[in-house]
Amino acid sequence: MAQHRVIVVGGGLAGLAASVRIAEAGLPVDLFSMVPVKRSHSVCAQGGINACNDVARQQGYSEYQHFDETIYGGDFLADQPPVLEMTNWAPKIIDLLDRMGVPFNRSPEGRRDLRLFGGSLFKRTHFAGATTGQQLLYALDEQTRRYEVEGKVNKYEFWEFLWPVITGEGDARRCVGIVAQDLRTMQIRAFRADAVIMATGGCGLVFGKSTNSIICTGGAASRCYQAGAWYANPEMIQVHPTAIPGADKCRLMSESARGEGGRVWVPRKKGDTRAPRDIPDAERYYFLEERYPKYGNLVTRDIATREIFSICVDDAMGVGGENVVYLDLTHKDPDYLTRKLGGILEIYEKFVGEDPRKVPMKIFPAVHYSMGGLWTTYARGAFRPGAPAGEHKSGSLPPVGTALGVGMRYGAHENMRTNITGLYAFGEVNFAFHGANRLGANALLSCLFDGLFSGVSVVNYVREGEPAAKPAESLPAEVFDACVRQETAKADRLLATAAQGPGGPETNPYVIAREMGEEMTAASTVVKSGPRLEQAAAKIASLRERFSRVRLEDAAAWSNQSLSFTRALGDMLILAQIIIRAGAMRKESRGAHYRVDYPDRNDAEFMKTTCAAYDPGAADPHQITYRPIDADLVAPRARTYGKVDG
């Protein structure tokens, strides 16, 4: 009898949730991670995870309200059925995490506490202080270790994914394993699998400085794209409004700070150099509260980011003439802040040297998240049992408690599958849930939902789909050996350049990476324009030409980090090209994508998914088209968050 296996690439929440779900179904899992699983980037999530519970329901909240907020927050760019199903599952996911031992904050009555988060007027964000991601990751890792002890999960930590092994052509393509490299011994080898799940996170390093970990290059997603997987909505990059600017990177100051009452302001008088405590309240400009009185400091991230950017860059009203504003918590009780926000307060104090309980924090926006990612499909469910789709097209919310059915069909093989059979994408590396802008505290939810819900789809595919008749272990060795030779040749070419000696800044991978990050941040983050994107396209093309002559300064045969980084740099430059190209082609403003030359949303032409396909044999390898959006539940409406003009 065939021994089926599943490979999961990525040790964050999406990868761990998938590993647990698949192992509990009896299939062995090989789990690959570039770093120890508990150091995956999910550990950096701070503020919380959204879900409707009984307390939220007493406020008049519902799963459907959560769904509507997510679609509205994403500016109507997401397919609606997967989002509906994610929000339907959210309360069950929280209950499961609670049983796993996640130390959620509690109210005095012993219920799980809730906080406000951007894009909602309801408290519906569950949290564990300001280290929610860490607590969730550790809990999922404990569950994974249970299956590791039983021999159902085999961890490959310090291994880097290099390429998916794919058989067949066209629609008959099938992923049957991966090639990976041990970052300690530098061994490159192939691993067979009947299904491969990519759960490798975002691509923050394409922009140089970001709130992401240094492993978040997007290299794995780029390699899948180059191997034939489609990449969707690459232009949709989230810039978080509140981060600590740094010389090396930017450090996140969670949205939970605003959710717990933090206020964003600058002195009303331009050039006011007084200490913040010496500036009376009447002489402070709480610009988010004045411009958005309904939501105040809890407007969505894209809106808050643009307002802060405008205050500092356009109006030159930044604190001390710099590109920073105050995020002020000093009016709150210090003990309360320690209980609710201790994790981020310690980070600020460590890296800035000031206690944010006593002195307002100085913050500025920073690249944070990619709403775009590998394109995935799904099996649509019945929105309400026996009812036709489109029943709620008006956009008005149904009564609280209304039965809405399901958005996705549980267990269907195609849920979160890429356009390549057997290759799946879970978590931030896919594009499925957040449209043009992610709501804060929906990231942890989407990662866990993917693993827990679509993990069953992977199990069913392995047992009922192509692997049932032709398992990966039955395929000839040459299928895998050829892919190993391909990746070994790439590594050898790069290592051979070290013998040529230093080539100067033109061919230094770290210089090229810095220039790429600076250009991408300047051209394709908070505000964009056609001419600036064209300029960036030329610059990235120039950097790719320089990369073709890149030289390593380290030829070590053991733990060669320069090789890993340089290889990823080539893949990041490819992602940079489609981010810029897609941004130039989308001639509208929607969510995080703001074009000063096209400031309005254009539903008639662009309420569609950008879809990039890679053809290495074409004169232009990046083929970008648009796919229709499944929007039968909520009709698009103006996305204003109650803004007051003037």
Residues serving a catalytic function are 301
Contact 91, 63 (CB under 8 A): yes
**Edge-to-edge strands of the sheet including 29-33?**
153-157, 29-33, 6-9, 195-198, 423-425
- Interatomic CA distance for residues 98 and 146, integer angstroms: 17
Q: Reduced to 3 states, what is the DSSP secondary structure of residue 581? A: helix
Q: Considering Cα of 46, then 49, then 54, then 57, what sign does the dihedral take?
A: positive
* Tokens, residue 17: 């949730």
Query: 505: which DSSP letter?
Result: G
Q: Report the SS3 class of residue 175.
A: strand
Are the beta carbons of 466 and 2 closer than 8 angstroms? no
Where do runs of H (alpha helix) occur along 25-151?
54-58, 63-73, 80-100, 132-149
Strands 6-9 and 29-33 turn out to be parallel
Q: Which of 411, 433, 408, 413 is nearest to 424 (CA)?
A: 413
Output the six-digit token pair for 539.
């610059």
CB 547 within 8 A of CB 493: no
Cα dihedral across residues 321, 326, 331, 334: positive or negative: negative
Contact 395, 64 (CB under 8 A): no
CA pair distance 13, 134, nearest whole angstrom: 10
CA 595 – CA 531 distance, rounded (Å): 11
**Which has the closest alpha carbon to 31: 53, 56, 49, 5?**
5
Distance CA 436, CA 525 (A): 13
b/e burial code for range 584-601 (CB count within 10 A of at least 16 → b): bebebbbbbbbbeebeeb
β-strand partners of 362 = 326
Give dist(CA 502, CA 481) in Å, integer. Answer: 33
Residue 343's nearest CA partner among 506, 510, 130, 135 is 130
Residue 237 to residue 371: CA distance in whole angstroms: 6
Report the DSSP pairing between strands 125-126 and 284-285. unpaired
> How many angstroms separate the CA atoms of 578 and 1, rounded?
44
Question: To 5 degrees, how large is the angle CA 312–CA 314–CA 317?
Answer: 40
CB-CB neighbours of 491 under 10 Å = 18
